[in-house]
Structure 1
Amino acid sequence: MPVRVHVVEDDAGVSDSLSLILQNLGHEVILYPDAEGLLRTTPPAGADTVIVDLSLPGISGGQLIRWLQKLASPPVLVVITGQSQGAIDHQLRGVSPVRVLRKPLNAESLLHVLTGD
């Protein structure tokens, strides 16, 4: 089922790859180079998915995840990162569970994490 997917990723190559894969899967994709870009827009809807890189410039991915989880109707949240499990645990301490997708990304793992299978 197609959904609106917000991608918050500062690496243009990763953003472009994610956008291409997601669009080929039939999803609407909105790209942001940083958390501030997403925060300047209307918050994502509860039916949306937000893919957030943990290593963002400015407001961190962990801070953005915390803000998104406080929305009245939070979107589905997916973290993408190439960091170690210890670094992921540290940045997401105290955060409700989110789906995590490790870099390097591929279409199969992206589809798996989006569907929650």
Structure 2
Amino acid sequence: MRVHVVEDDAGVSDSLGLILANLGYEVVSYPDAESLFRASPPAGRDTVIVDLSLPGISGGQVVRWLLKLAEPPRVVVISGQSQSAIDHQLRGLPSVGVVRKPLDVDTLARAMPSH
């Protein structure tokens, strides 16, 4: 299974990539929503990790786009924002996994589907 990481902080993106690769996932990273949109859409069996605080197109908009795909992937949101800010951005959406920053290996592993 492939994991797509949409994260503008290069350090966080690199760390996520290393953790996920060590957990056995194939990882594709994008620095912003626009890069994800230019690539082939994720497959239904994939997982997409989206930072809510993206420059340009917001993480909330990315989640909405992903959930409208014919075969939506599993979506996991990462954020260092307050819970009320997260709730505001995700209002009206079906439940998605949320992992709070700072990230740790155990919490991230629990948020990922088994493969």
TM category (shorter chain) comes to over 0.9
What pairs with 1:48-87 in structure 2 (closer than 5 Å)? 48-87=46-85
3-state SS in 1 of match to 2:112: helix
- Unaligned 5+ segments in structure 1 are none
- TM (norm. structure 2) is 0.97
Equivalent residue number for residue 110 of structure 1: 108
Deviation of 1:115 (Å): 3.0
The CA deviation string for residues 1-35 of structure 1, in whole angstroms up to 9 with x for no partner, is xx200000000000000000000111000000000
Instruction: Tell me how large the CA RMSD over aligned residues is.
Output: 0.9
Distance 1:10 1:112 in 2: 23
| Runs of 4 or more consecutive aligned structure 1 residues displaced over 4 Å after TM superposition | none
Deviation digits for residues 50-89 of structure 1 (CA, Å, limit 9, x no counterpart)? 0000000000000000000000100000000000010001
Q: Counterparts of 1:36 and 1:42 in 2: how far apart (Å)?
A: 12
Residues paired across the two proteins, number: 114
Q: Deviations over 1:90-115 (max 9, x none)?
A: 00011111000000001100000113
- Distance across 1 between alignment mates of 2:68 and 2:100: 24
Alpha-carbon distance between aligned partners in 2 of 1:72 and 1:78, rounded to the nearest angstrom: 18
**Structure 2 regions of 5+ residues with no counterpart?**
none
1:7-22 correspondence runs (5 A):
7-22=5-20
TM-score of the aligned structures, taking structure 1 as reference length: 0.95
Identity %: 70
Counterpart position of 1:46: 44
